[in-house]
Structures are given as structure tokens and as C-alpha cells.
Structure 1
Amino acid sequence: MTVAHEHPSEGTDRTRLVPALAAATARLASAGVASPRVDAELLVAHVLGVGRGRLLLIDTVRADELRRFEDLVERRAARVPLQHLLGTAAFRHLELEVGDGVFVPRPETELLAGWGVEHTAPGATVVDLCSGSGAIALSVAQEARPALVVAVERSPRALAFLRRNASAVRVVEADVTDPDILPDLRGQVDVVLCNPPYVPDGTAVPPEVADHDPAEAVFGGADGLDVIRPVIRLAAELLRAGGVVGIEHDDVHGAEVPELLRADGRFTAVTAHNDLTGRPRYATAQRV
């Protein structure tokens, strides 16, 4: 990526921002990045230490700023996730620290988190299974008034990010497929939420996912349900009567996950939910 430089009379090497952004956008588009203009703007705003909305007020960038921007653009063109380059991921009202070893939270998961917030009464106990960066757990802790939020994660690398992000929640290192975890909370939980690994093995995924998201946080076995099945059983054990569960799933699981909830026999009010694109995205139910 190259842009023309200006050399003002004071001798400071500066470059106009508009053509620099245009060149970055073209580079990212040629690399197959889905949102090249937005990514370019976020990257230069990061370099300049300003909000994206303030870019309209900036006419030129210094030579060192341009070099840093061009380096980030090349890394993004190599399909390093934008959030890894920025060091944070936006999620609802949060900025979460992310990087290699932790799943980058996706916008569609904000819907499940929002459902969790809506169903968390003051003083409630909430458990977030497969917590990763802590996106769901922290959203509920910040936006509702629970007495306790417990974030469960097994990956040591993900736990490092979770602990840095999750000062407002209780972090538990455990495998959600272990039926014996959280013995002190059996029958005491009001809301269970989970964004598990659910992509069926062998499914083609973008380079950002294949090369940077941990596979154990993405793929869920041959049919994508290897973690969801034990999570449903665990949720039934954790929830009090009348408590609720919400589980995100792949868009191919729109019928399977609600059916698994019904087949367990301990849930009622099983409901399928679509995301904003109309694709099946999560299922909810209430403990009998």
C-alpha cells in the first residue's frame, strides 16, 4: 500500500489522510476483507488515538503514524483479526481485551447477552458457561443487577484474558462437559447462558477464524453438538425451578437444539430465536 506524501514548508513529512484511507481500503478489499473501509478507519483511528468519528476533523498524518497504519493494514490484509490488531473487541457496552488464544466475541452473540440481561432480576445468580473473554458474563454484570455472576472457562489461554476482563465476576476454571462442576450452585441458579463451540467439524470458516480463533472454541464435533448436549444437562442441574437457560448455536441447529431441550424433559417454554439476519441463532427454555 503506497500513498503520495506531502512536504509542507516547515519540513515535517505529512500525508493527507483521505488518500491514505482510500489506499488502505483498496488494499483490504483486494485481500477479501469483508468491511475494508470500516476496518481501515478503525485502524488509523487506533494509530492516532482518536475515536473513529473524529477522523473527519483530521487532515494529515505524520510519517511515523503512516508507517504504523500501513503495517497494520498489511497485517489485516493477511487476515489477522481486526480485534487482535486493536487489542480489544467491542461488545454491547464493553471493550474487552482479546488476542491469540481467546475467541473474539461476535455481534450476533450480543442478542443472547441481551436476552440474559432482560431475564436477570435484581439479586439473581447467573452462570456463563464457555465464557471465553467474558463478554456475556460482563454484559449481564454491567447491565443488570445480579448478586453473583459466575464465568466458567477451561482454556488456560482464554482464562488469562477472562481474568483481565472480568473483575466484576467470579471466574471458575472448569470444563463444562464435566457433570460434577459447580456443586455449590446446584438448584440455585436463576439464569444459565452459554455460547459454546458449535461449528460442525470440517465446516469451512474464514481465515480469521481458521488461523486465529482457538479451534476448541469454534468446532463442536461432527454435528457441532458435542458441547451443547452436556451443557443442557448441566443447565438442568444448576437451575432452580423457574430458572432460564439460553444457548447460542450454529444456524444449522435451528431445530436440533430446541429439540434437545425438549427431549431432556426438565424444561418448558422452549423457544427458538433468530439473529438480525433471520438465521437461527439461539434457543431458550425454562426449568420446570
Structure 2
Amino acid sequence: MTSSDLESLRRDAIDALAVAGIPAPEVDADLLIGHVLGLSRGAVQARALTRSPIDEQDARVIRAAIVRRATREPLQHITGLAPFRSLELAVGPGVFTPRAETEFVVQFAIDALALVPNPEPLAVDLGSGSGAIALAMATEVQHARVVAVEKSPEALPWTARNIERHGDGRVRLVAGDLADALPELDGLVDVVASNPPYIPLGAVPRDPEVRLFDPAAALYSGEDGLDAVRALSRTARRLLRPGGALVIEHGELQAAELAAILRADGFSAVACHRDLLGRDRATTARR
């Protein structure tokens, strides 16, 4: 790509990403160009229509970003940011990049938390990663207190950074394993939410962005993918007050097995919820 006007550069970028198999090459090209130039996607398109000239230094940076994306490096790693509901979260190597599916899942936790009659309800995000679930609960239920638990030494700096930026003092970060987290809160928590690892060890994620760049600890969990869920269920049972809510994200083929785990641990009102594409994606239950 050697073009010096924005329209030609944009077209070259779209073509390069399409050849690389990027699912939405036009979107990603616009977002990368906009990231470098400080423009929205619409502004990139508007400027391209006028064939605006582009500074050669900016052009070099854009070309380098396109080359990185063409290797299937996640867009969010290149920009350093992942949008999540109303938030922009810092992400990069070592932390799981939050997905749109989790935006759907966390709504159940937000709704449950908002209905708690306690004037200062308490929620826990187990295996917090970027802090997406914890911060969504805290920013959308502003009278709540939230605890984020994360054990990965690679992910923790990202969790801390996002909580410092968005937590407004209402999210506490705890370094620890979801299997034995927060014994001091036993029986006191109103909502437990989690997007645990749930891919079986023998499965290979289809998308290179996931397979090559997301941390394995955030993806894989035992032969059937449910080892973390088993630990999570026991921990949530211990933490939740009677009537407290549990919200778990999972794979689309795991709903029945996950429900059996929860019922065996004494949860009631176990229900699976389908996402906008009709896939089983979230399960809720009550202590």
C-alpha cells in the first residue's frame, strides 16, 4: 500500500484485509484508520469521499496497523481498546478480549442487581479478566458495590488499569482463584456473575484471533470444558445469600450439563437464555 490520499489508502487496506480473510474488512479498515487519525468511522468515510490527502507519517502507521491485522492479530490489541456496553476497556496480550456475547450475558446480572432491595447491593465477578462484567455492573447499577476476582498474573494489570479508570472507587480487585475466593463474604453476596473458561481441551477455536491471541487460561477448562463451572458453582453457592442470583456465560452446547451441575449443588430456578442469534449463551439460577 503506497497510496497518499485517504480514499486510495482505505481501498488498499480493505482489499488487503479481505485477502487475509478478515470477516468485516471494511469495518476494520475504517476503525484502524480512524484510530490513527483520531476520527470516527463515519468521519473516515466522509474524508475518503473527498480524496483528502494524508500525511505520510500517518499513512505509514496505518499501513503497519493493517499488516498486523492481516496476520489476524485482534483489532483490539492493535488499538489497545475494546468497546463493552458503555465502556472502552484497555486490552492487550495476556487478557481475554471481551466479546459482544458477554454484553448480552451481563444484562442478566445488571437486572438482578438493580432489583436487590438492599440500598448497597453486593456483586462479585469471578474470573474478571479485563474487568468487563464487574465494571458494567458498577457503572450501570451505581449504588452497588462490586468485587472483581482474577488470578492470572498476566491479566491482573489489565484488570487493575480498567478498574482504576472506570471503577469510581466502587469496584475492589482481589487477586485470587475463583475456586476459593472471598471466604469473608460467605452468605453476603447478592449477585455472582462470571464468564469462565468453557472450551473443552480437545476443541480448537475456529477464529485465529481467539486461538492465537487469547490466553489459554481464559479459554480451556478440562475435558468437557466445565471444570471451571464446577468450581464456580460451589463458590457461588457459598458466597450467595439465600435468594441471591448466579449468572454464567457458557458455550451453546453446554446448557443441559451446566444446569445439572447447578441443580446438584442446590441451585433453584435454573434457566438458560438464548442470545440474539438463538444460541444458548447464559444460564441464571438462584441460591
Per-residue deviation, 1:98: 0.4
Per-residue deviation, 1:106: 0.6
Per-residue deviation, 1:105: 0.4
Runs of 4+ in structure 1 off by over 6 angstroms are none
Per-residue deviation, 1:68: 0.7
1:143 counterpart residue number = 140
**Aligned pairs (5 A) from 1:75-224:** 75-121=68-114, 122-167=119-164, 168=167, 169-178=171-180, 181-205=181-205, 206-224=207-225
Per-residue deviation, 1:19: 2.2
Letter in 2 for 1:258: A
Letter in 1 for 2:124: V
Cα shift readout 1:223-270 (whole Å, capped 9, x = no counterpart):
0001000100110110001110000111120211122111212x2111
Identity of paired residues, percent?
A: 48
Can you give the 5+ residue segments of structure 2 that lack an aligned partner in the other structure? Answer: none
Cα shift readout 1:82-113 (whole Å, capped 9, x = no counterpart):
00000010000000000000000011000111
After TM superposition, the score normalised by the length of structure 1 is: 0.92
Q: What secondary structure, in the 3-state scheme, does the structure 1 residue paired with 2:128 have? A: coil
Moved more, 228-237 or 196-205: 196-205
After superposition, the CA RMSD in angstroms is 1.2
Cα shift readout 1:154-213 (whole Å, capped 9, x = no counterpart):
0011000000101321000011123xx211110000000000000111212222112211
CA–CA separation in structure 2 for the residues paired with 1:146 and 1:160: 26
1:30 counterpart residue number = 19
Q: What secondary structure, in the 3-state scheme, does the structure 1 residue paired with 2:227 have? A: coil
* 1:264 aligned onto 2:268: no
Cα 1:243–1:282 change in 2 (3 A) is: same
Structure with bigger gyration radius: 1
After TM superposition, the score normalised by the length of structure 2 is: 0.92
- Give the one of 35, 39, 52 matched to 2:41: 52
Q: What secondary structure, in the 3-state scheme, does the structure 2 residue paired with 1:61 have? A: coil
Q: What secondary structure, in the 3-state scheme, does the structure 1 residue paired with 2:54 have? A: strand
Can you give the 5+ residue segments of structure 1 that lack an aligned partner in the other structure? Answer: 5-14
Contact 1:120 1:145 survives alignment (8 Å): no
Q: What secondary structure, in the 3-state scheme, does the structure 1 residue paired with 2:268 have? A: strand
